[in-house]
């Protein structure tokens, strides 16, 4: 089951992001535009019974692998 973050950037939202002074301000603009983040989307799928909570935990708790260094 795929989960995506997606938001439609209209002119008003683009302008607000351009003039935002911090990431938390950008986040506030996204939230006011009704954007759901990956974790929010996944949790809704758990609540609807589409996926299991252990699958959500497994995916979001994966450690990011460092790229291999070339010698």
pLDDT digits (tens, 9 = 90+) for 13-68: 999 989 999 999 998 988 888 888 888 889 999 999 999 999 989 888 876 556 66
pLDDT at 69 over 80: no
pLDDT at 71 over 60: no
C-alpha 23/C-alpha 4 separation (Å) is 20
The whole-model pTM stands at: 0.58
- Say if CB 29 and CB 20 are below 8 A apart: yes
- Say if CB 67 and CB 55 are below 8 A apart: no
For 60, residues 6+ apart whose C-beta sits below 8 A from its C-beta are: 38, 39, 42
């Amino acid at each position: 089951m795929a989960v995506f973050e997606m938001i439609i950037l209209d002119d008003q939202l683009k302008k607000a992001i351009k003039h935002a002074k911090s990431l938390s301000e950008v986040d506030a603009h996204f939230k006011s535009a009704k954007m759901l983040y990956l974790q929010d989307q996944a949790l809704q799928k758990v609540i609807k019974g589409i996926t299991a909570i252990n699958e959500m935990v497994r995916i979001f708790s994966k450690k990011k692998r460092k790229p291999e260094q070339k010698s």
